[in-house]
A and B are shown apart, each in its own frame.
Chain A
Amino acid sequence: MSTRQTRVLGRVLTAPSVGLLFVWMIVPLAMTIYFSTLRYNLLNPGTEDFIGLENYVYFLTDPAFLASLRNTLVLVGSVLLITVVLGTGVALLIDQPIFGRNIVRLLVIAPFFVMPTVSALVWKNLLMHPVSGLFAWIATSLGLRPIDWFAEMPLFSIILIVSWQWLPFASLILLTALQSLDEEQKEAAEMDGAKAFSTFFYITLPHLARPITVVILIETIFLLTVFAEIFVTTGGGPGLQTTNIAFLIYSQALIQYDVGGASAGGLVAVVLANIVAMFLVRMVGKNLET
């Protein structure tokens, strides 16, 4: 179905979307690059000077950057580990012949639909509060000392909340993948005398390799910019303990009004995300037929 007419038409119909996305991507990015070379603070307007790469030097050597980079990596890494491992478990469990599978599925998927501000506040107040939270009560009932989560292990608390939000995503995708695994393949393996464990390691796990990669890549993209959960619980503190790169840039821009510094930071974030995005795009591209 391709004639000159349809091809021309195709361009005409795609042009608006392409144009919009191009502007949406290029203009702000160009401005970010431009701002990142300026000394530009909204509190001292009219004093913008070109300072080259000074913002980058400043941003990259700032101890806050190193701390937030570390926090970002710990956050992303831990959430990935937790969600992929638990997600595989949950998916395998739901893939069993269980009664009421659809309802269980619904229960598992639910957290994904909860807006980040709600989940953060519910966890913070109703569950993790050191005095009246449910966890505190459980600890006391067991004769343990209740944990003051956000004071004693703030980053871990955030990791817990974010993992809860993303576990459904990993579970659902891995479950979908499991269900597409040919039942006959498993049966053949069984006929060959494979035990449950070897079936898992030699058949199921290799089959999951690809979806797990997809989960890792997509989650990474989103996890690199976790924001609302930190915003409503710790505000990046105590100190810098829960400041990730996204939050650091936010506070530079909208709290300290340091446009130049925040822009330099923004570009660093773009570069980090692009490294991951490259792998993802390549992977998606491989099985895309147009």
Chain B
Amino acid sequence: MGSITLDGVRKTFGSVNVIPNVNLEIDDGSFVVFVGPSGCGKSTLLRLIAGLEDISDGRILIDGRDVTNVPPAKRGLSMVFQSYALYPHMSVRGNIGFGLKMAGLPKAEIDRKVEGAASILNLTPYLDRKPRELSGGQRQRVAIGRAIVREPEGFLFDEPLSNLDAALRVNMRLEIAKLQKDLATTAVYVTHDQVEAMTMADKIVVLNAGNVEQYGTPLELYERPANLFVAGFIGSPRMNFIGGRIASAHGAATIGIRPEHLRVAREEGGQGEGWSGVISVAEHLGSDTFLYVDAGEAGTLTARVIGELGLNEGGRVTLKPDPAHIHRFDQTGKAIRP
């Protein structure tokens, strides 16, 4: 019903090649998240799908239909903007119903659908308010209401939660994910928040300078990053990278170990590989402790310890990697898999 295919999509602004060449297959009903550093082209790619920008080359198919030259409204997609982009002079009812009104639906049907959407989103008491009389979270809901009421083939979200405070964000994150599952509508979601990406996505697209670095499920990305960029980008705290002699010993140019895959031992030596060093900083979060350890040849390593171990700055520890979770990368940064 709502699969989206990008086929050799390229976008240049003037002489700047923002999206060099993207091929992507988004399955019907799936929740796909675009992540990547700021300026990597996430919004641009989303706007290309929406039809708010022309692609310079390639094709976009929705549900098998070539929509490359179809205007935004006719693509059957709806979009939730980072700024919400509510119409300030219209009531909540007017905002949600605007798309239906433009489509020429009869008034009674518009009312029915608007009220339906409003009740899903708990907006019924606010239907006659103006956007400026709503809280941030309520505005966000109105923006979502505007998107769902048209029963589109796909939702596009551009960092919809970035203007909300932390607690509200978690709530809305859950609500959006649930809503999407209930409606079974394809969704493309842009964010630079990893947690959002990992928790909401069926599949994640990691973008870097307009290129797709990896496309896969959250666990695939976490467990089998395709290259150094993805390895470093996904996961928090960041994966440790070690080069030089230590990496060569593993037959790689660089090896990577996530902080949670380093076992912390107080004693020196012991079995297996290990790097000892001095704790330079210890961050106590209560549930976890992050240790930053100066480990000589291995460089500064981050280790994550569950709970409190009573370790502090200046203490000597040995970090032992879990051999099953050592990632190996070649000269070009590509992962070496057995």
How far does the alpha carbon of A87 sit from the alpha carbon of B71 in the complex, in Å?
54
In the bound complex, what is the Cα–Cα distance between A4 and B54 (angstroms)? 7
A5→B52 contact, CB < 8 A: no
Interface flag for A25 (CB, 8 Å): no
Interface residue ranges of B28-45 to A (CB < 8 Å)? none
Q: How far is the CA of A3 from the CA of B51 in the complex (A)?
A: 8
Interface string of A1-36 (1 = CB under 8 A from B): 111110000000000000000000000000000000
B71-A5 in contact (CB<8A): yes
Minimum Cβ distance to chain A for residue B58 (Å): 15
The number of chain B residues touching the other chain, given as a range, is: under 10
Complex contacts, A5 vs chain B, CB 8 Å: 71
* B53 contacts A by Cβ under 8 Å: yes
The CA-CA distance from A4 to B51 in the complex, in Å, is 11
Check B71–A1 contact: CB distance below 8 A: no
When C-beta atoms are compared, the residue in chain B nearest to A7 turns out to be B54
Q: How large is the interface on A (under 10, 10 to 19, 20 to 34, 35 or more residues)?
A: under 10
Residue in A1, A2, A3, A5 with the greatest tally of chain B CB atoms within 10 Å: A3
**Residue-wise interface mask of B (51-63) relative to A, using a CB-CB cutoff of 8 A (1 in contact, 0 not):** 1111000000000
Tell whether, in the assembled complex, residue B71 and residue A2 are in contact, meaning their CB atoms are under 8 Å apart: no
Contact with A along B67-94 (1 / 0, CB 8 A): 0000100000000000000000000000
A74 CB, min distance to chain B CBs, angstroms: 50
Residues of B contacting A2 in the complex (Cβ-Cβ under 8 angstroms)? 53-54
Contacts of A1 in B (CB 8 A): 52-53
List the A side residues contacting B54 at CB < 8 Å.
2-4
Bound together, the chains give a CA A5 to CA B70 distance in angstroms of 10
How far is the CB of A108 from the nearest CB of chain B, in Å?
Answer: 35
The answer for the CA separation of A97 and B140 in the assembled complex, in Å, is: 43
Whole-angstrom distance from the CB of B216 to the nearest CB of chain A?
A: 31
Instruction: Give every chain A residue within 8 A of B51 (Cβ-Cβ).
Output: 3
- Collect the chain B residues with CB atoms within 8 Å of residue A3's CB: 51-54, 71
11 chain-A/chain-B pairs, Cβ below 8 angstroms:
A1-B52, A1-B53, A2-B53, A2-B54, A3-B51, A3-B52, A3-B53, A3-B54, A3-B71, A4-B54, A5-B71
B contact set with A: CB distance below 8 Å:
51-54, 71
Further contacts, 9 of them, CB under 8 A, given A3-B54, A4-B54: A1-B52, A1-B53, A2-B53, A2-B54, A3-B51, A3-B52, A3-B53, A3-B71, A5-B71
